[in-house]
Chain A
Amino acid sequence: MSLYHHAHIQTHRQGFSRRSFLRNAALGAMTAGTLSFHDLMSVSAEELRQQGRSMILLWMAGGPSHLETFDPKPKSASAGELKAIQTSVSGIDISENWKNTAKVMQDVALIRSMTNKEGNHQRASYQMHTGYIPSGSVKHPSLGSNIAREIGNRELDIPTIVSVGSTDGAGFLGVDYEPFNVSNPGSIPNNVAATVPKKRYQKRLGLLGRLDSEFAGRGGEVVVKNHSKIYNKASSLVMSPQTKVFDLSQESASLRQEYGDNNFGKGCLLARRLVEAGSTFIEVRSNGWDNHQNISEVITPISKQVDTGMAALIADLKSRGMLERTLVVWMGEFGRTPKINPRAGRDHYPRVFSAAMAGGGVKGGQVIGASTPDGSAVEDRPVTTTDLFASICHSLKVDPKKENMSPLGRPMKIVDGGKVVTELFS
C-alpha cells in the first residue's frame, strides 16, 4: 500500500481506522498503476532520513519591514530614518541595524521579491507556515511538520520538530509531528524534568504499567496500547541523557555571548544544539515586528537581537561544518508599506517583502529579485510563497509533490504548485 498507509499504522491506535481504510482503498483504486512509485518513495525516504538534513526557521512575527532590514531604499521617498550599510559582498547593502549579518553576507542569499496577497497576521502567518490559505474544513500541516515527517529521525529521544515560541502545528498529520514547544530557551522545558529521583520515577512507571494492563484485560487494550506508546516516548525523553541538549550552560560563555543573552539568541544556540543532536526542524521566533508606530525607534533593538543571533548561528554552523546540511531561513508573514504613516510607522504590505536564506546548499552572497526603487512592488523575478517552499524542499531533498491524505480523503501536496528558485542553488 501507499506510504501513507505505513505511516498511518504507526500513527493511529487501531492500526488503521475504518475511514483510512476506505480512503486507502479508494486511493488504491485511483492510483493502481502508481503504487510502485509510492513504494519507491518509502524506500528513498528511509535513505533520506540518514542524511541528517535539517532546517532552522527564524520567524519574525508581526511582519518585518523589508525597508528596515534587507531591502533598504536610502535614496527614495520610502526611506525611513535608518541608513544602509555595506556588507562583506560588494554591491549588497542592508539596513544599518544588521552589522553582524553584513559580515556573513557571503553565506546568505537575499530574496527581495517575495510577493503575496494576504495582509492579515493570522492568515498570512498560516500561509507562510503551511503554504496554504486557511480553510475551516482542513487544518494544513506546517512545512516543518511535513519536513519532520519526511526526513525526521524516528528513533530520536528528543523531539524531531521544536519551536521556540508557539507556532502553527501539524494539522492533519497528527500529534506525531506536532512541534515541541520550548518557551524558555536555556532551561529544561516545562514538565520534562521528573519531580522525583529517577529510580523512584521508574518504579512509578512500573506500577502504572501493571495497573494499566489490568484495564487492558477488561477491554481497554487499544486505549492502553496507545497510551503506553505515548508514555514510553514521553518517559524516554524524561530519562534521556540527551535532554542536556536543552541546557545551554554546556556551551562556553564566549559563544553564548556571541549568540546574545536574550531569548532569541538563546533560541538560536538551542537550535544549533538540537540540529547537532539530530532534530530536523526548529523554529525560533522573534516577536515585535508589527511596527505601526515609530518604526525606526522600535525596530532597532529587536533587529540587533536577531542580527546577533542569526549571524552567530550561521558562523557557528559553518565553523562546525554543519552549514551545508542545515538550511537557515529568515522571514515573516509580510513586509511593510513603503510610505511612512502619520504615526511614523509602517502598515502591513504583502505585495513585496524580503526573505533570507543560508546553508543547505544555498549559494550565499547573492540577491534574488528586486523591488521597485521605492520598495512598493516587485520589479524583477517575483517569488511566491509556494516558490519559496518548493526551494526549501529542494534544499532538504523533500519531494514537494508528495501527497498526504486530508481527513476527508482529499490528497494534498506538501507544496501545491510553485517552482524552485534555481538561482539559489546554482
Chain B
Amino acid sequence: MMSFSMKRATQIVCIFLFSVSILLCHSSTFAATKSSSQSKKRQRVDETTLAEQVDQLIEAELKKSKIQPVKLANDEDFLRRVTFDLAGRKPTTSEVILFGLDSNPEKRKTIINDLLKSEEYAVNWARYWRDVIYLRATNARSRINQNEFEEWMTTQLSENKSWDQIATDLITATGEVRKNGNTALIFAHQGDPAELAAETSRIFLGIQIQCANCHDHPTDKWKRNSFHELAAFFPRVRVRPVRDAMPRSFEVVSVDQGSQYDRRLQMLEDPSPLFKAFDRNRDGKLTETEVKRSRLARNFEQMLSRGDSNADKALTIKEIKNIALPANTRRATPEYLMPDLKDPTSAGKVVHPVLFVGTKAPQGLKDIERRETLSKFLTSKSNPWFARAIVNRLWAEMLGEGFYMPIDDIGPERSAVHPEVLDALADGFTANGYDLKWLCRTITNTRAYQRGMQKKTEGQIHTPFAAQSPTRLRGDQIFTAITQVFGVDDLQANRGGGDRRYRGNRTARGQFSTLFTFDPSTAQDEITGDVPQALFMMNSSTINNLLGTNRNTKLAQIAKEFPNNKDAIQELYLLTLSREPSKTEMKICQDYIQSTDSRNEALEDLMWSLVNSSEFITKR
C-alpha cells in the first residue's frame, strides 16, 4: 500500500539499512519475583499470553452476540495511535514509511517495546497524571508546583516505579511543595481531609465515596460514616506558607500536637486554667493588670472589646466563653471530627480512620503513620479496587472507552462491560507487582487495541471493543504534534497572555494547554472542543506565521523540494496525519491546487486545512 515518490524511497531506504540492525528486544522487567504467597489465580503471566487471553474473552463474548469484530488497523493507523498513546507525539514521516516497509511479523510488539523505553513515555504520562490531579484542585494556587510534580512523575515513570509505590509516595508526601513534586495531591486540596478522602478514593480506587459526605451513598453501599472514616486518615496534614520564601512557597507538614492557634481556641472554650494562673485576687474576673506581661497581654484589649458585655474592663469565665469563635475556621484537632448534620455549628464527633473496603487502623496514630497505613490498605493485594481502577483508567485512555464509564466511578454497584476481561487484566497487573509498563504493553498488544475504525451504519448499536473508537488527543499531544508538523522546538508564546503569577502559563505549551485541556477522567463523548480552540487553530498568528511559504518554513521547503503536486500532497499528508492520502483525498487536493492561481497559496491552504482537520486532533 506504500506508494511513494522515488526521491522519498531512496531517502528512506538509506535510513532503513541502518535500522534493520535493531533487534527485537523482549523485555523482561518482571524478573524480580516478590513472593508466590498470593492465590494461584494471580500467577505471573507475560503480556503476550495475557493479551491473547483478553482477546479470546472479548471475541468469545462478541461471537455470542453475533458481532464480527473489525480487522486490525493498517500499519499507519496503528503506528500513529500507539505513538501518541505511549510517547505523546505523532510518528515522523520516516517512522511511518520504515514501519510500513518492515517485514518483521513481530514489528508491532517491537515498536511497543521501543516506545515504552523512550523518555517520551514518561513525559507523556506524567502530563496525563498532572491533569488528573490539578484539574480537580480546590485551590488554584496549587499550580505553583505543577512543574515540579511533572518532573517528579516523569522520573517515577521512566524508572518504572510500581503503581503502589507511586500511590504511596503521593499519599505520604511531606515537605516544601516546590521541592517535593509528590506533594501535588495534598497541596491541590490544601490538606483538607474531606477533599483528600474524596480524591484518594476517586483516583486510586475509582470509587466516588464523596457522595457519602453528607448522606449515605445514594447508589452504592457506603454509609456516611465510611467517608468520614477515610477522611480520618488525614486530620493531621497541614499545608502552610513557608516564611519569607521567594518565590512564595508552601510546605506539607504533620501536626501531631495542636497548634498555637488551637490552644487559643481551646482556651476560649475552657478558660478555667487561665483563671487558675492569672486571677490573682480570685474574684472570678481577669483584668488588664492581672494579665500584664503574660501571654494574654497582647490580645487582652481585643478580648475585652469582643467579650466584655458589662463594660467593667474585666472578663469573667462566662464572658470569655461567650466570645464568638472566628467563623469558618477549620478546627485543627489531632483527630478527625465528623460534622453533625443536625447541628452544623457543633464541633462534631471524633471518627477514627478506617478504609471502607474493609480495614481499620489502630487508634491514635501519628500523621505519617496514618498516611502510611492508608497507603498499605489501599495498595494491598487483597484490595481489588486498586488494580481495577488503574486498569480501567489506562485501558479507557488508550481504547477510548473503559469497562466502566465514567472511568473513575467503578464502585461495587456499578456494572461493567466485559468484567471478566477487567479482572483478568487486574489480576495480571497485581501479580506483576503493579508494573505500569507491563500494563501498557499488555493493552497495546491486544487485538482489541489494534483494531481499525468502523463506519457506523444508521441505527447500529455501539458494541464496545469491536472496533476502534476515534478519541480526542490531549492538549499536550496536540501541541507536540503541531511543533513536529512545523519542524520547530516550541511555539510563540502570547506575551500579554496567561497569568503572570504562574510561570507555566508564560510558556507557549502552558498557554496552549490552558486552552486545549480537559479533565482526563471525562468520558470521550463529552469532550467536544470549543470555539476559542477552533479560533486559535484557524486564525492565531502562532499557527499562521508557520504556514507562510514566503518565509523559511517547513511548508516552503516542501514546496521547493517537491515540484510535483502529487508528491507534495503526499508529503503533507505524511507530515500532518502520518499517512498517505486516499485516492479521493489526492483528487480533492490536486483539484484544489489546480483551481488556485498560486501553487504556494494552494499549498498553504492545504496545510491549513490538514492542521485544522478533525483527524489532526483525533487519535484514529
Given contacts A17-B523, A219-B456, A230-B529, contact A117 B328 (CB under 8 A): yes
Question: What does the 1/0 interface line of B203-218 toward A look like (CB < 8 Å)?
Answer: 0000010110000000
Q: Which of A13, A219, A350 contacts B455 (CB 8 A)?
A: A219
CB interface residues, B 430-480, toward A, < 8 Å: 452-456, 467-468, 470, 472
How far, in angstroms, from A178 to B528 measured CA to CA in the complex? Answer: 13
A207 near B529: Cβ-Cβ < 8 Å: no
Given contacts A14-B525, A218-B453, A235-B538, contact A136 B208 (CB under 8 A): no
CB interface residues, B 500-545, toward A, < 8 Å: 522-523, 525-526, 528-536, 538-541, 544
Question: What does the 1/0 interface line of A102-123 toward B look like (CB < 8 Å)?
Answer: 0000000000000001111011
A134: Cβ under 8 A from any B Cβ: yes
A117 near B327: Cβ-Cβ < 8 Å: yes
Contacts of B470 in A (CB 8 A): 219-220, 222-223
How far, in angstroms, from A136 to B200 measured CA to CA in the complex? Answer: 11
Q: Which of B211, B405, B541 contacts A195 (CB 8 A)?
A: B541
Question: What does the 1/0 interface line of B381-399 toward A look like (CB < 8 Å)?
Answer: 0000000000000000000
Given contacts A190-B494, A212-B613, A215-B615, contact A195 B539 (CB under 8 A): yes
B605 near A200: Cβ-Cβ < 8 Å: yes
A407: Cβ under 8 A from any B Cβ: yes
How far, in angstroms, from A215 to B605 measured CA to CA in the complex? Answer: 18
Contacts of B454 in A (CB 8 A): 219
How far, in angstroms, from A244 to B397 measured CA to CA in the complex? Answer: 42
Contacts of A119 in B (CB 8 A): 328
Of the candidates A14, A17, A218, A228, the one having the most CB atoms from chain B within 10 angstroms of its own CB is A218
Contacts of A409 in B (CB 8 A): 219
B530 near A175: Cβ-Cβ < 8 Å: yes
A343: Cβ under 8 A from any B Cβ: no
Number of interface residues of B (CB under 8 A): 72
A135 near B138: Cβ-Cβ < 8 Å: yes
How far, in angstroms, from A194 to B536 measured CA to CA in the complex? Answer: 10
Q: Which of A191, A195, A408 contacts B409 (CB 8 A)?
A: A408
Contacts of B536 in A (CB 8 A): 191
Rounded to whole Å, the gap between the CB of A351 and the closest CB of chain B is 7
Given contacts A223-B470, A230-B531, contact A194 B613 (CB under 8 A): no
Contacts of B528 in A (CB 8 A): 11-13, 174-175, 226, 230
Number of interface residues of A (CB under 8 A): 67
Contacts of A122 in B (CB 8 A): 139-141
Given contacts A136-B138, A195-B539, A207-B606, contact A214 B532 (CB under 8 A): no
A238 near B539: Cβ-Cβ < 8 Å: yes
Given contacts A218-B455, A220-B620, contact A194 B538 (CB under 8 A): yes
CB interface residues, B 520-572, toward A, < 8 Å: 522-523, 525-526, 528-536, 538-541, 544
Nearest opposing residue in chain B for A181, CB measure: B532
Contacts of B585 in A (CB 8 A): 211, 214
A78: Cβ under 8 A from any B Cβ: no
Q: Which of B195, B468, B531 contacts A234 (CB 8 A)?
A: B531
A193: Cβ under 8 A from any B Cβ: yes
How far, in angstroms, from A194 to B499 measured CA to CA in the complex? Answer: 26
Question: What does the 1/0 interface line of B115-130 toward A look like (CB < 8 Å)?
Answer: 0000000000000000
Complex A-B, nearest 9 residue pairs according to Cβ-Cβ distance, in ascending order: A219-B453, A117-B328, A234-B534, A175-B530, A191-B535, A227-B614, A208-B609, A191-B539, A195-B544
Which residues of A line the B interface, CB within 8 A? 11-14, 17-19, 117-120, 122-123, 134-137, 159, 166, 174-175, 178, 180-181, 183-184, 190-195, 200, 203-204, 207-208, 210-212, 214-224, 226-228, 230-231, 233-235, 237-238, 350-351, 407-410
A-B CB contact pairs (8 Å), 23 listed: A12-B526, A17-B526, A19-B406, A122-B140, A123-B138, A136-B189, A136-B198, A175-B530, A175-B531, A190-B535, A191-B532, A191-B539, A200-B601, A203-B596, A203-B605, A211-B589, A212-B613, A214-B588, A220-B615, A230-B529, A230-B531, A235-B534, A238-B538
